[in-house]
Structure 1
Amino acid sequence: MTWQSLTGAGGAWSGIDWTARAADTASADPYLAWADTTQFADLGGPPAGWIRVIIELQANAPDGTALTARSFADSLEGANAPWQAWIRVSSLYRYPPADLDQTRFLTAVVTNAFFARLDTTLKGYVKRFEIGMPVVPDDAPATNTMPDAETLAAGTGPVFGPVPPTSASAVSAAPGPMVFLGVMDDGLAFAHERFRSTATPSATRIERFWNQDDASGAPPALHYGRQFTKAGIDALLACCTQGGQVDEDAVYAQAGYINVRKRWAHGTEVMDLAGGLRPNPLHAASMSPDERAQRDALANVRLLGVQLRTAGRTVRDTTGRWFAVHALDAMRYILRCADDLAGGAKYCVVLNLSYGYMAGPHDGSSIIESAIDELIALHHDLSVVVPAGNSNVLRCHASFSVANGASKDITWRALPDCATPGFLEIWLPDHADESNVTVQIRPPWGDPSPAIAVKNIAAWQNGRDVLCTVVYLDRAATGRRTMILIALAPTVTRQPARIAAPAGNWVVTLANRASTNGSLDIHAWVQRNETAYGFPLRGRQSRFEDPRYKRFFGGMHVRDSDDNNTDSWISRRSTLNSIATGDATVVVGAYRRTDGTAAVYSSTGPSLRQTVRDGPDAAAISEDSPACAGVLGASTRSGSLVAMSGTSAAAPQVARLLACARVLGKAPVISPHGMPPFSARDWVEKRAGQEDPAPTALMAHRLGTCPGTAAPPVLPLPDHAWVPMLPGPRGGSGRFPSPRWKKRGVKL
């Protein structure tokens, strides 16, 4: 195995030398440079045709005119029609709601000719871009290829035309707005009784459902997947009803929807916690007036769902390489559907996105966070709720300073039997002179790399297989600061001809060659790559290793805070979900119902833009008790429940509360353009602070105690989980109570 410099060489697929691009060209995706280096070995093989990208456009076109996603999409049907040979844009972006006319983020399908034209034809149009291809384990068949690179398959997914004109009667309708609740996830059991009305015969409460999955083996399509309307779902339910009972398996078979074959699916439980309604009339009769009002409000919330693409490939890829493209498409779809269904009447949208990743800039500048903030800022009434993340104690964040003229070693442990690649992102501080920073890699065995400077790509390989890639570009599309990407091949492979990367400790040395006094504050995150729940074991989460990192109190209790420990460079702080550090999203942490303890896994702040976000905006319940892990929600078949843990279970409870409050008129209208502006984040922070259920008297004598032992260690008050109001980095302004006080179950 030898280290080879790939600086100055064109990519095997794109043909682009990513290290030699001018400063006034579009910022590139370091992951595309890695894919080029490895010949897409972990992405299903080199594409023969079209791939999906997410793009941020410049504010103005080269001729000085304002540039928007809509104007760019329109130009492909007019003056720039020849460009359609290598780039095409969905009607989602050509025909947006009026609120979103000025958006500059869009997705597109492109061939490799797109990348060759970034510095010529597209110069001055594209600001940055990322590819949207999932990591594919090598036991999965590759489906990236097409026989004809110039032809897209005919799409069957949602296609939009111009926005219908607004009717005068709709504008003067009832004073209260329509409330739409959108859920984007995996495995949404749209035929479940929780998403149907309580009438007889029941009808679906889901207005639109987009399954982003294409048929198995289908070639790429511009308008992909399949859309179901309320009428279509009701027709399926009626067709598959016998003796008053809906045969849900028959519904999904007729719909060609395989994502709910298993007993439990993440998306079904999330959608139930966000908008599920118990149909039992006896249950409704036993409710208090307040509970009945909440139920009636929820019945008036109109549901919109998106099954994120693609089952067995993207969703089981927890690294998130696919996420930005399909998440932006899903949000734009829901917003256009809500606008169409409102027909000009007042409406608001609450979106729940219970996904998360570990690596990223953590300052709100990632391409998907910027796109979400743009949607919230431009839309007249939009709230987006995301989880805080579950990486607090996973040892996947490093924070350290490197003095000028010094160096720092950090250890990254790759676990054996990991069939997916591992990624480490090292982020330099704002305004750092990257020309003074070098990186060196020492594998568990073999020669170390040379010191790698900016504008370089290096690979550790045997001539055929690349086991480690270092991509060090001066401008990365994944954030506004300089990022160094280190990618490892899987540590186990099922391809006899391919060599696996060695498991063990990889030592990364950061050197600061600046000659003046000072230092650089550097952050690094290991990207998520464990196996998603319910899928065959493939990924195993890699992590940092430091003997000075303290994992436990007294050898038995998990330490969930740094406790002002400065000995270790591994940090529990700043572990927020990498899509949860934007300006306007509502971020929800997690706590335990029985004693108010913050969930040890619930990720913490602050973001690297500390004046914007100290931590989650609020916390909701993700564990019922130490003995009853998780909270109950719907399984994929009616009449069954499953417990789910994690901040993914906490976030939809807040989305539910926000949607119901809008129906009842208890939450003010979101006004991003008002004076002063008002966001859902403001309302959630205030409401959570008012409703924090932790009783001060009870908490006072629990400081330093634990139900599991007689003599636990005593912690400083700011770092302890048992406090009346969780500190900002742990739980935001306060906590939302739960209706689950009578029994373990779903009360609403």
Structure 2
Amino acid sequence: MLDSDTATSGNAPGVLSQVADFRLTRFSHKNNADQWWSVLVEIEGSIDAFIANAIEQGQGTTAPNLKPIPVDQVTFVVPVAYDAADRAVDHRLQPVSIFARQSFLSLLNQQPLAGHSANQWNVQSLVLGGLVDPVVLDLDADWPDTTPHPPLSKGATVMAVIDDGIAIGHDLFRDGETSSRVRFAAFLESVPFRKDSKTTVGRTLNKEAVDALLEKCTRQGLLDEDTFYSRTGQIDFPKQIFSTVALRSSHGSHVMALAAGQMLDDAEDERPIICAALPSRLVEDTSGVDLLPSFYLGFQMLTKEARRFCEASGALAKVIFNLSYGNSGGPHDGTGLFARLFEHYFGAEAVVNGDPQRAWLMLPGGNANLAQLHGVLEPGVELAQFDLSVLPDDRTGNAVQIWMPFEGADPAKATVVVWSPDGKSHQVTTSGPDQSHCFVNEQDFEIARLSFSGPQGETKRGLVQLLINPTASHDRKEPLAPSGIWQIEVTREADAPHAIELWVRRDETIPGLKPGGKQAYFDNPGYERFGKYGEPLRVDPPGSDCPVKRAGTLSGFACGQSPVVVAAYVAKTEDLAPYSASGPCNQPSSPAGSDREGPDLAAKGDESDVVRGVLSAGSRSGTLVRRSGTSVAAPRMARAAAVAIHDFDGSGREWAQAPTASTPGMEKLNPGAPKTPQQSGSGAYSYPVEARWIYGK
């Protein structure tokens, strides 16, 4: 241990989410009571009961089936994507994305009542999203259309994509000069149409609206794409609405083309597209925490829209979803908030009205294998120290999650001590009550927080969190944390039988967006980065006693039971990409856990070690760009799954165990490679994609 001064402590553990409380503290120097936020809440019971309870306690809301309340009295709103049927269903536990004023958030974030799993608002857990400009909200929106679409042709599969920067006018998403294959598009950050609005946030366009805009913006056979994206609402610089479709390359366009792109004259089976575009300003923070409410609002909108598609027999059409995002947080055992919410839409207990709809979800395994974001206090080890390097000029917050092992009724006993770069320290013990301690600056503003929360909900693990403010900001009044090494020391009894796992939250800015986040990482001196020939080591060296590990870096989104999780390989060498994350996952802590060991299979993420990435759509018609990572491997498997789902009777994960048997054109590569299921699942597979789009061929 190091000698240090003790920072000022503010014990205030009585909240559902320390992260939400800490993030709101960052704005304590401002008067933001009327600021709107996106919020994801897990509620017990029905949405109607939640709304009625809130109104009874003096909190106002609006909805099409309730008497409108004056706008200045509205404190939260449930999006119309949750229709009357959704709101009436009584679930034991369900996720709901809402928009709420900051004045209401402190009430929602109260800890559960004594002897109950939820608080007085029937909220069991809460994730704070991002700030929402009221200009993109329509509190008077009407219910979305539920009229069935015309029956699809035989072999048709609906392709559903949630991403950012989706260039819906690209010629790979059209079946004619002014005819789009996009049947539904939701833009979650756009100035809404106030007339006949069908969404609470942003705007939605159906095929008729997209085709009309294509016709208006096409001159002499060429689409004026800048005007088109301005008229869709994706780009409005005077109102500070920005999308990466304004750039040469956009993530969503690249991903959606891999999953569903085809030339105008391609004779491939029908692939109607539905999509939801995330707010670009939230995508700049890659942690996934800010985006989670938008993710699940997108899933809610697209699953409702998917049910409007049917086959000639009258059965609901088959749907492939792709979400090429990941994060490094969560318990990594299938019980975390991220994993469980995917089960809500795609698991055995998926919520459907009437007949079930076959829907598979593709997720990337993550790119964190070499990022030094994972640490482990191994069984039988009494003490480990982790040097967290927090970089200067980092405009996003940093966080470390320390998950205690599941040990039944007997809580895991450990002590966590943290020293800041300026020598101040705090500690928490995991065998006592919930705790919260603040690191403060000279002006007595909180700049970091160390907290402990006991086992809650399905996870049943204790959680220690270190939350750190940005080290730089354009706001001169924002309290900043010092950059440098934040030392974390974890101690416990030497004979403890289970590991304690640490994960650094991912926050590095995605290429192509304005710089903001710089990734914090564990910088322990014993970590071996390179082999004897200078190549990065893909697996931990045998016999290494360094507590920073490559194993166990699988994305926190990808640890659940139902999604198909895809790793990435390099085509030239037919070997896994060095960045591609792997298992094992944590030992499940409850029946809600997953049996997952790692990814389900691997797809191409790079052409070679020199030619990085794979070709797919740029932001303008006729363009192709390269992008790399497991986020481009996942949609390649989404394209293959769109064929397989018709003839395969099992789940998506069952198909991924032997996909070539039911998928024409799919081949298994290098079957003798000594890769474990924790690294590549059932193996590496190729499926023809680029051949469909090389212009001029």
Instruction: Return the TM-score normalized by structure 1.
Output: 0.78
The residue aligned with 1:55 is: 41
The residue aligned with 2:337 is: 367
Query: Does the C-alpha gap of structure 1 residues 350 and 229 become closer, same or farther in structure 2, counting only changes over 3 Å?
Result: same
Aligned equivalents of 1:47 and 1:267: distance in 2? Answer: 34
The residue aligned with 1:458 is: 437
- Give the CA deviation at 1:479: 4.6
Query: Does the C-alpha gap of structure 1 residues 742 and 584 become closer, same or farther in structure 2, counting only changes over 3 Å?
Result: closer
Q: Does 1:679 align with 2:651?
A: yes
Aligned equivalents of 1:156 and 1:253: distance in 2? Answer: 24
Aligned equivalents of 2:521 and 2:54: distance in 1? Answer: 48
- Give the CA deviation at 1:498: 4.8
Q: Deviations over 1:429-487 (max 9, x none)?
A: 11375583222111222233355665221111123332321122224679542211101
Query: Does the C-alpha gap of structure 1 residues 500 and 74 become closer, same or farther in structure 2, counting only changes over 3 Å?
Result: closer
Q: Deviations over 1:216-252 (max 9, x none)?
A: 9x9xx98110011100000001111111221111211
One of 514, 518, 523 as aligned partner of 2:501: 523
The residue aligned with 1:568 is: 546
Q: Over aligned residues, Cα RMSD in angstroms?
A: 3.5
Is the partner of 1:441 in helix, strand or coil? strand
The residue aligned with 2:325 is: 355
The residue aligned with 2:67 is: none
Q: Deviations over 1:44-92 (max 9, x none)?
A: 974424433212223xxxxxxxx344x5468579989966354432222
Is the partner of 2:576 in helix, strand or coil? coil
- Give the CA deviation at 1:532: 1.3
The residue aligned with 2:69 is: none
Q: Deviations over 1:525-565 (max 9, x none)?
A: 00111111111222111111222221111051110011434
The residue aligned with 1:107 is: 97
Q: Does 1:126 align with 2:122?
A: yes
The residue aligned with 1:448 is: 425
Query: Does the C-alpha gap of structure 1 residues 746 and 306 become closer, same or farther in structure 2, counting only changes over 3 Å?
Result: farther
Query: Does the C-alpha gap of structure 1 residues 562 and 209 become closer, same or farther in structure 2, counting only changes over 3 Å?
Result: same
Aligned equivalents of 2:163 and 2:684: distance in 1? Answer: 25
- Give the CA deviation at 1:746: 8.2
Aligned equivalents of 1:145 and 1:338: distance in 2? Answer: 29
One of 284, 287, 304 as aligned partner of 1:336: 304
Q: Deviations over 1:707-741 (max 9, x none)?
A: xxxxxxxxxxxxxxxx5363211111022214379
Aligned equivalents of 2:529 and 2:140: distance in 1? Answer: 51
Query: Does the C-alpha gap of structure 1 residues 37 and 475 become closer, same or farther in structure 2, counting only changes over 3 Å?
Result: farther
The residue aligned with 2:17 is: 29
**Alignment check: 8 A CA contact 2:603 2:684 kept:** yes
Q: Deviations over 1:177-207 (max 9, x none)?
A: 752111111100011100000x4x4410000
Query: Does the C-alpha gap of structure 1 residues 366 and 629 become closer, same or farther in structure 2, counting only changes over 3 Å?
Result: same
One of 215, 231, 243 as aligned partner of 1:254: 231
Query: Does the C-alpha gap of structure 1 residues 460 and 174 become closer, same or farther in structure 2, counting only changes over 3 Å?
Result: closer
Is the partner of 1:507 in helix, strand or coil? strand
1:636-675 matches, cutoff 5 A: 636-662=619-645, 665-668=646-649
Q: Does 1:510 align with 2:481?
A: no
Query: Does the C-alpha gap of structure 1 residues 573 and 517 become closer, same or farther in structure 2, counting only changes over 3 Å?
Result: closer
1:66-465 matches, cutoff 5 A: 67-69=45-47, 71-72=48-49, 75=52, 84=61, 86-95=75-84, 104-111=94-101, 112-113=103-104, 115-116=106-107, 123=119, 126-134=122-130, 154-155=138-139, 159-160=143-144, 176=154, 179-197=157-175, 199=176, 201-215=177-191, 223-258=200-235, 259=243, 260-279=245-264, 281=265, 295-297=267-269, 300-308=270-278, 310-311=279-280, 313-342=281-310, 345-376=315-346, 377=348, 378=350, 379=352, 380=356, 381-401=358-378, 406-431=382-407, 433-434=410-411, 436-450=413-427, 454-461=433-440, 462-465=442-445
Code of the aligned partner of 2:268: D
Aligned equivalents of 2:509 and 2:54: distance in 1? Answer: 42
The residue aligned with 1:489 is: 469
Code of the aligned partner of 2:571: R
Is the partner of 1:342 in helix, strand or coil? coil
Aligned equivalents of 2:436 and 2:626: distance in 1? Answer: 45
Aligned equivalents of 2:571 and 2:317: distance in 1? Answer: 34
The residue aligned with 1:292 is: none
Query: Among the aligned pairs, what percent are the same residue?
Result: 24
The residue aligned with 1:705 is: none
Aligned equivalents of 1:229 and 1:467: distance in 2? Answer: 46
Aligned equivalents of 2:296 and 2:338: distance in 1? Answer: 7
Query: Does the C-alpha gap of structure 1 residues 412 and 654 become closer, same or farther in structure 2, counting only changes over 3 Å?
Result: same
Query: Does the C-alpha gap of structure 1 residues 446 and 257 become closer, same or farther in structure 2, counting only changes over 3 Å?
Result: same
Aligned equivalents of 2:456 and 2:38: distance in 1? Answer: 18
- Give the CA deviation at 1:35: 2.3
Query: Does the C-alpha gap of structure 1 residues 246 and 657 become closer, same or farther in structure 2, counting only changes over 3 Å?
Result: same
Aligned equivalents of 2:97 and 2:315: distance in 1? Answer: 29
Aligned equivalents of 1:412 and 1:97: distance in 2? Answer: 44
The residue aligned with 1:551 is: 529
Query: Does the C-alpha gap of structure 1 residues 596 and 743 become closer, same or farther in structure 2, counting only changes over 3 Å?
Result: farther
The residue aligned with 2:65 is: none
**Alignment check: 8 A CA contact 1:632 1:746 kept:** no
Code of the aligned partner of 2:329: A
Q: Does 1:732 align with 2:667?
A: no
Once the two structures are overlaid, the 10-residue window that deviates more, 735-744 or 608-617, is 735-744
Aligned equivalents of 1:86 and 1:396: distance in 2? Answer: 38
Query: Does the C-alpha gap of structure 1 residues 359 and 324 become closer, same or farther in structure 2, counting only changes over 3 Å?
Result: same
Q: Deviations over 1:651-672 (max 9, x none)?
A: 001111111334xx4333xxxx
**Alignment check: 8 A CA contact 1:207 1:230 kept:** yes
Code of the aligned partner of 1:94: D
Q: Does 1:472 align with 2:452?
A: yes
Aligned equivalents of 2:87 and 2:651: distance in 1? Answer: 20
Instruction: Return the TM-score normalized by structure 2.
Output: 0.83
Is the partner of 2:213 in helix, strand or coil? helix
The residue aligned with 2:601 is: 618
The residue aligned with 2:70 is: none
Code of the aligned partner of 1:223: T
Is the partner of 1:132 in helix, strand or coil? strand
Aligned equivalents of 1:480 and 1:178: distance in 2? Answer: 42
**Alignment check: 8 A CA contact 1:364 1:583 kept:** yes
Aligned equivalents of 2:603 and 2:139: distance in 1? Answer: 40
Code of the aligned partner of 2:648: A
- Give the CA deviation at 1:397: 0.3
Is the partner of 1:493 in helix, strand or coil? coil
Question: Structure 2, unaligned stretches of length 5 or more?
Answer: 62-73, 236-242, 589-593
Code of the aligned partner of 1:685: Q
Query: Does the C-alpha gap of structure 1 residues 100 and 276 become closer, same or farther in structure 2, counting only changes over 3 Å?
Result: farther
Q: Deviations over 1:398-454 (max 9, x none)?
A: 0113759x4432211112222221111110011375583222111222233355665
Query: Does the C-alpha gap of structure 1 residues 49 and 531 become closer, same or farther in structure 2, counting only changes over 3 Å?
Result: closer
**Alignment check: 8 A CA contact 2:54 2:60 kept:** no
**Alignment check: 8 A CA contact 1:391 1:603 kept:** yes
